A and B are shown apart, each in its own frame.
Chain A
């Protein structure tokens, strides 16, 4: 039981390049999330998928796209990376209702130069 796994763990991109962060969970959760973590700003929600087949914008969606490939997998794509997207990205999953524990992946450290 691995929980939430995400790849890659580290990535350096040049401005304008594209990349996809992959995430999978084995807890049979309906909901999945992508957060970014920046110093002094806590965890901010980029996009979420409340259930398989649906995706919605979170607090900071600009510059990102997502795909809920199936119940297990939820990917985050940067189409044209910008230095402002340098951050640590966390995938997470939970049952949807407030009060259910959110389980995070180990994080992906992304640097855009």
Chain B
């Protein structure tokens, strides 16, 4: 089955700086890559996703890039703000049912004021 590795496990950045979280996946058939954000004590929520026919997708201060050849994708957060502090999970799945979605182990991002 799919294996998703996520790095780093913890990340601290100064407010206003950029943050980058990277994930690699093992199954070359995977073609859907969402990112979820989980604030402390809250539920995970989708923040952005990308399909394999697209190399980059942006939504305001967040962007995701995908390198299919290398089988890795990254989340980029620019101009970080205190409310960006959370755990971020990447995930990958093949074009089938959502039960095939495999999550990474998470990155705890801390924004230092």
Known pairs A98-B32, A99-B32, A104-B44; A40 contacts B98 (CB<8 A): no
* Chain A residue nearest in CB terms to B46: A101
B58-113 interface (Cβ within 8 A of A): 89, 93-101, 103-106
* Chain A residue nearest in CB terms to B41: A107
* Chain A residue nearest in CB terms to B93: A98
0/1 per residue, A37-73, Cβ < 8 Å to B? 0001111110010100000101000000000000000
Q: Is the CB of B100 within 8 A of A99?
A: no
Q: Is the CB of A97 within 8 A of B105?
A: no
Could you say which of B94, B96, B105 contacts A40, with CB atoms under 8 Å apart? B105
Q: Is the CB of A31 within 8 A of B98?
A: yes
How far apart are A113's CB and chain B's nearest CB, in angstroms?
A: 21
Q: Is the CB of B105 within 8 A of A58?
A: no
Known pairs A99-B32, A99-B49, A106-B43; A40 contacts B97 (CB<8 A): no
Q: Is the CB of A56 within 8 A of B98?
A: no
Please, which residues of chain B bring their CB within 8 A of the CB of A45?
Answer: 99, 101
B binding-site residues for A, Cβ under 8 Å:
6, 9, 31-32, 34, 41-46, 49, 51, 89, 93-101, 103-106
25 A-B pairs with C-beta separation under 8 A: A31-B97, A31-B99, A33-B98, A41-B105, A42-B89, A42-B105, A45-B99, A45-B101, A48-B99, A50-B99, A58-B99, A90-B43, A94-B98, A96-B99, A97-B95, A97-B96, A97-B97, A97-B98, A98-B32, A98-B96, A98-B98, A98-B101, A99-B32, A106-B42, A107-B42
